[in-house]
Amino acid sequence: MMIEEFGLRRYESNPILAPRDFPGADAVFNCGQTMYRGKTILLVAVMLKNHPVPRIHVAESADGIHFTIRPEPFISQSKVPHLAGLDNWPIDPRVTYFPEEDVYYIMRPANSEHGCAALLGKTRDFESYEDIETIALPHNRVPSLFPEKINGSYVRLDRPYSLVGDPHNHSQYGHIWISFSPDLIHWGRHRPLLKPWMPWNSTKLGPTPPIKTREGWLVIIHGVAVSCSGSRYSLGAMLLDLEDPTKIIGKSNSYLIAPDAEYEFMGRVPNTVFACGAIADIEQDTLRVYYGAADTCIGLATGKLSEIIEICQKGL
């Protein structure tokens, strides 16, 4: 089957991580991603066949292709008293390295009977992890932190949404918002940033941690389209102004990658490619996106950073 690719190109030996790579796993999927001491680090969600709740494990690689998943969970349900009971489904971590503090902040959804809030945690070494606080009310998913303060404030992208059951009700649609904080705990100055605008993202959108480039903040986004046959998750991108990230200065009108490969169709959530981040090498002009495929395995897509920026600038 011919697979069309635009901006991002699949690694020829995908998937790079699958249930076969972790004993007893039913799924190894949606991963936060960053670099640490010259190694590629993925925070992968692992669903076991005999366990009711997923955990997040560290996977590391010297070459960015061949990964070893640590057997012990790095993040599981929080035991912090004021967070226990809010954290019943640890998945979809988004990692942001903050050089000013030499810390890796981790934002993730907090699923419970109260709905989906958002949790903030941190690590310095990917050996120990600390839960910090709930930072968004339900219903909110995919919180993503900028890697530096802008005009003295921490800045976050996220996607609040409604749980109205009618897929044709626009109040359910998920838009990307931006907000600001003096301390990472208290967030305000909430502003709507981007709503669905093309068929591939007609139902809802979601951000990942922004990447600083000379041209602007590059954000890999996912878009969801719902039809009579179910949902379809694809990936695109947008570009934000460096000094004022409330300004969108470009976006991809086409998706960069959509579910076309067999492993993106066959799995727990078919017809899905979903990213929690991306890794850029400015000097080498490369972008790596480790993405969840069908909520079952992990694929790698790569592209030229300059090409993806140009796609956003020209609205291709």
- Record the tokens describing residue 310, joined without a space: 């140009």
Q: 164-189: per-residue pLDDT in tens?
A: 555 555 456 689 999 999 999 999 99
Instruction: Report residue 84's pLDDT band, with 50, 70 and 90 as the boundaries.
Output: confident
pLDDT over 80 (residue 19):
yes
Average pLDDT rounded to a whole number, residues 18-35:
98
Backbone angles phi, psi at 94, to 5 degrees: -120, 120
Q: Is 65 helix (H, G, I), strand (E, B) or coil?
A: coil
Domains and CATH numbers, the chain: 9-314 (2.115.10.20)
Backbone angles phi, psi at 186, to 5 degrees: -100, 115
- Beta strand 188-194 with 25-36 is unpaired
DSSP state of 307: H
Please give the pLDDT value at position 233.
97
- Record the tokens describing residue 282, joined without a space: 């400015």
Question: In this structure, is the dihedral angle defined by the CA atoms of residues 99, 302, 42 and 143, taken in order, positive or negative?
Answer: positive
The per-residue pLDDT of the chain, averaged, comes to: 94
pLDDT over 60 (residue 121):
yes
Of 101 and 169, the structure prediction assigns the larger pLDDT to 101
- Of 3-12, 180-189, 230-239, the range with the lowest mean pLDDT is 3-12
Please give the pLDDT value at position 166.
53
Average pLDDT rounded to a whole number, residues 238-263:
97
Average pLDDT rounded to a whole number, residues 2-30:
93
